[in-house]
Amino acid sequence: MDSVQAPHKTSSYEHASLSSIEVDPNNRLWIGTIGSGVYMIQKTASSPDTMKATRYVSRNGLLNDIVYDVAIDTKQGTAWFVHKNGMSAYFRTDLRETDAYMTSEGPEIKVYPNPLRLNLGQSVTFENVSEDAVISIYNAGAHLVRSFSGSELDGGRVVWNGKDRHGVYVAPGLYHYLIKKGSKKKQGKLIILH
Protein backbone atom coordinates (compact mmCIF):
# COMPACT_ATOMS: atom_id res chain seq x y z
CA MET A 1 0.00 0.00 0.00
CA ASP A 2 1.16 3.53 -0.61
CA SER A 3 -0.38 5.10 2.48
CA VAL A 4 -0.22 4.71 6.23
CA GLN A 5 -3.39 3.53 7.93
CA ALA A 6 -3.74 3.86 11.69
CA PRO A 7 -5.51 1.00 13.48
CA HIS A 8 -9.08 1.69 14.52
CA LYS A 9 -8.32 0.70 18.10
CA THR A 10 -5.28 -0.16 20.23
CA SER A 11 -6.47 -1.85 23.41
CA SER A 12 -4.54 -1.37 26.69
CA TYR A 13 -2.49 1.52 25.30
CA GLU A 14 -2.45 4.81 27.17
CA HIS A 15 -1.20 7.84 25.30
CA ALA A 16 2.28 8.69 26.56
CA SER A 17 5.33 10.72 25.57
CA LEU A 18 7.22 8.46 23.16
CA SER A 19 11.01 8.23 23.33
CA SER A 20 11.92 5.32 21.03
CA ILE A 21 10.53 2.59 18.81
CA GLU A 22 11.85 -0.78 17.61
CA VAL A 23 10.36 -3.58 15.49
CA ASP A 24 11.02 -7.21 16.44
CA PRO A 25 11.23 -10.25 14.08
CA ASN A 26 7.49 -10.92 14.57
CA ASN A 27 6.57 -7.40 13.37
CA ARG A 28 5.57 -6.19 16.83
CA LEU A 29 6.35 -2.63 17.85
CA TRP A 30 8.28 -1.99 21.08
CA ILE A 31 7.70 1.60 22.16
CA GLY A 32 9.68 3.31 24.92
CA THR A 33 7.94 6.11 26.78
CA ILE A 34 8.85 8.86 29.21
CA GLY A 35 7.11 7.81 32.42
CA SER A 36 4.90 4.94 31.20
CA GLY A 37 7.47 2.18 30.67
CA VAL A 38 7.49 0.14 27.46
CA TYR A 39 4.62 -1.03 25.27
CA MET A 40 4.72 -4.06 22.97
CA ILE A 41 2.05 -3.53 20.31
CA GLN A 42 0.86 -6.35 18.04
CA LYS A 43 -2.07 -7.13 15.76
CA THR A 44 -4.94 -9.09 17.24
CA ALA A 45 -6.20 -12.23 15.54
CA SER A 46 -9.81 -11.08 15.77
CA SER A 47 -9.63 -7.92 13.67
CA PRO A 48 -7.10 -6.38 11.26
CA ASP A 49 -8.18 -2.94 12.52
CA THR A 50 -7.37 -3.62 16.17
CA MET A 51 -4.00 -3.76 17.88
CA LYS A 52 -3.23 -5.03 21.38
CA ALA A 53 -0.69 -3.42 23.69
CA THR A 54 1.19 -5.16 26.49
CA ARG A 55 2.76 -2.75 28.97
CA TYR A 56 6.01 -3.38 30.84
CA VAL A 57 6.71 -1.17 33.85
CA SER A 58 8.82 -1.27 37.01
CA ARG A 59 6.65 -3.98 38.60
CA ASN A 60 7.49 -6.20 35.55
CA GLY A 61 11.24 -5.83 36.07
CA LEU A 62 12.11 -2.43 34.59
CA LEU A 63 14.30 -0.43 36.92
CA ASN A 64 12.54 2.80 35.92
CA ASP A 65 9.46 3.74 33.88
CA ILE A 66 11.32 6.58 32.12
CA VAL A 67 12.70 4.73 29.07
CA TYR A 68 15.07 6.57 26.74
CA ASP A 69 15.78 3.86 24.17
CA VAL A 70 14.74 0.35 23.10
CA ALA A 71 16.92 -2.16 21.20
CA ILE A 72 16.17 -5.74 20.08
CA ASP A 73 18.99 -8.33 19.86
CA THR A 74 17.62 -10.91 17.41
CA LYS A 75 20.54 -13.33 17.87
CA GLN A 76 20.13 -13.77 21.64
CA GLY A 77 16.41 -12.97 21.82
CA THR A 78 16.77 -9.96 24.10
CA ALA A 79 14.91 -6.67 24.38
CA TRP A 80 17.13 -3.99 25.95
CA PHE A 81 15.67 -0.91 27.62
CA VAL A 82 17.84 2.10 28.49
CA HIS A 83 16.28 4.13 31.26
CA LYS A 84 17.05 6.62 33.99
CA ASN A 85 18.60 3.96 36.29
CA GLY A 86 20.67 2.10 33.67
CA MET A 87 19.53 -0.82 31.54
CA SER A 88 17.04 -3.69 31.79
CA ALA A 89 16.94 -6.78 29.58
CA TYR A 90 14.00 -9.07 28.79
CA PHE A 91 14.98 -12.47 27.41
CA ARG A 92 12.32 -13.90 25.09
CA THR A 93 12.71 -16.67 22.53
CA ASP A 94 10.09 -15.06 20.29
CA LEU A 95 12.50 -12.16 19.65
CA ARG A 96 15.07 -14.37 17.92
CA GLU A 97 15.64 -14.19 14.16
CA THR A 98 15.24 -17.78 12.92
CA ASP A 99 15.55 -17.48 9.12
CA ALA A 100 18.95 -19.24 9.05
CA TYR A 101 17.87 -22.15 11.26
CA MET A 102 17.95 -25.54 9.55
CA THR A 103 19.90 -24.17 6.58
CA SER A 104 23.47 -24.94 5.52
CA GLU A 105 24.61 -21.52 6.86
CA GLY A 106 22.69 -21.69 10.13
CA PRO A 107 23.67 -23.01 13.55
CA GLU A 108 23.43 -26.72 14.32
CA ILE A 109 20.34 -28.03 16.09
CA LYS A 110 21.01 -28.80 19.76
CA VAL A 111 19.03 -31.16 21.99
CA TYR A 112 19.97 -31.14 25.68
CA PRO A 113 20.26 -32.48 28.35
CA ASN A 114 20.56 -36.09 27.33
CA PRO A 115 19.91 -38.19 29.37
CA LEU A 116 16.91 -36.38 30.83
CA ARG A 117 16.31 -36.90 34.55
CA LEU A 118 12.65 -36.19 35.25
CA ASN A 119 13.12 -36.88 38.98
CA LEU A 120 15.38 -33.80 39.11
CA GLY A 121 12.76 -31.63 37.38
CA GLN A 122 14.74 -31.37 34.14
CA SER A 123 13.27 -30.58 30.71
CA VAL A 124 14.68 -31.23 27.24
CA THR A 125 15.51 -28.17 25.12
CA PHE A 126 15.40 -28.28 21.32
CA GLU A 127 17.47 -25.30 20.13
CA ASN A 128 17.99 -23.67 16.68
CA VAL A 129 14.91 -25.27 15.09
CA SER A 130 13.19 -23.57 12.17
CA GLU A 131 9.83 -22.02 13.08
CA ASP A 132 8.14 -23.90 10.22
CA ALA A 133 9.50 -27.30 11.24
CA VAL A 134 7.77 -30.09 13.16
CA ILE A 135 9.31 -31.88 16.15
CA SER A 136 7.99 -35.39 16.78
CA ILE A 137 8.95 -37.55 19.76
CA TYR A 138 8.35 -41.31 19.62
CA ASN A 139 8.66 -44.09 22.19
CA ALA A 140 10.65 -47.29 21.56
CA GLY A 141 7.56 -48.87 19.96
CA ALA A 142 7.45 -46.04 17.34
CA HIS A 143 4.25 -44.53 18.79
CA LEU A 144 4.01 -40.74 18.73
CA VAL A 145 4.29 -39.39 22.28
CA ARG A 146 4.41 -35.62 21.66
CA SER A 147 4.81 -33.20 18.78
CA PHE A 148 5.50 -29.47 18.47
CA SER A 149 4.72 -27.16 15.54
CA GLY A 150 3.49 -23.69 14.62
CA SER A 151 3.59 -21.08 17.39
CA GLU A 152 5.15 -23.63 19.77
CA LEU A 153 8.37 -23.13 17.75
CA ASP A 154 8.46 -19.30 18.04
CA GLY A 155 12.06 -18.22 18.34
CA GLY A 156 13.35 -21.65 17.22
CA ARG A 157 13.38 -23.08 20.72
CA VAL A 158 11.13 -25.65 22.43
CA VAL A 159 11.32 -26.92 26.00
CA TRP A 160 9.70 -30.33 26.56
CA ASN A 161 8.85 -31.25 30.16
CA GLY A 162 8.67 -35.01 29.50
CA LYS A 163 4.88 -35.20 29.37
CA ASP A 164 2.90 -36.84 26.57
CA ARG A 165 0.10 -35.09 24.66
CA HIS A 166 -2.33 -36.00 27.50
CA GLY A 167 -0.19 -34.28 30.15
CA VAL A 168 1.18 -37.48 31.72
CA TYR A 169 4.92 -38.02 32.32
CA VAL A 170 6.35 -40.60 29.93
CA ALA A 171 7.86 -43.83 31.22
CA PRO A 172 11.64 -44.11 31.58
CA GLY A 173 13.42 -45.52 28.56
CA LEU A 174 14.70 -44.78 25.08
CA TYR A 175 12.85 -42.25 22.89
CA HIS A 176 13.47 -41.05 19.35
CA TYR A 177 12.97 -37.53 18.03
CA LEU A 178 12.52 -36.35 14.46
CA ILE A 179 12.81 -32.70 13.49
CA LYS A 180 11.56 -32.12 9.96
CA LYS A 181 11.30 -29.06 7.70
CA GLY A 182 10.43 -29.98 4.13
CA SER A 183 13.14 -32.37 2.92
CA LYS A 184 15.53 -31.41 5.73
CA LYS A 185 15.46 -33.52 8.86
CA LYS A 186 17.41 -34.32 11.99
CA GLN A 187 16.81 -37.35 14.12
CA GLY A 188 18.28 -38.65 17.32
CA LYS A 189 17.72 -40.55 20.54
CA LEU A 190 16.77 -39.40 24.03
CA ILE A 191 17.22 -41.37 27.24
CA ILE A 192 14.68 -40.55 29.93
CA LEU A 193 15.35 -41.50 33.54
CA HIS A 194 13.11 -41.25 36.62
CA distance 113 to 159: 11
- Helix (H) / strand (E) containing 32: strand 29-33
pLDDT in tens, 72-87: 998 888 999 999 889 9
- Tell me whether the omega of the peptide bond preceding residue 115 falls within 30 degrees of 0, making it cis: yes
CATH of domain 9-95: 2.40.10
Q: What is the pTM of this model?
A: 0.65
pLDDT in tens, 112-171: 999 999 888 899 999 999 989 999 999 999 999 999 998 898 888 899 999 999 999 999
Is the domain covering 110-193 a CATH 3.30.70.100 domain? Answer: no
Residue 180: band (very low, low, confident or very high) from pLDDT cuts 50, 70, 90: very high
The percent of residues in the chain predicted with pLDDT above 70, rounded, is 91
What CA–CA distances, in Å, run from 92 to 73, 125, 155? Answer: 10, 15, 8
To 10 degrees, the CA torsion angle through 128, 130, 133, 138? Answer: 0
pLDDT in tens, 105-126: 888 999 999 999 988 889 999 9
Domain residue ranges of the chain, discontinuous segments joined by +:
9-95, 110-193
Residue 61: band (very low, low, confident or very high) from pLDDT cuts 50, 70, 90: confident
Q: Is residue 3 over pLDDT 70?
A: no
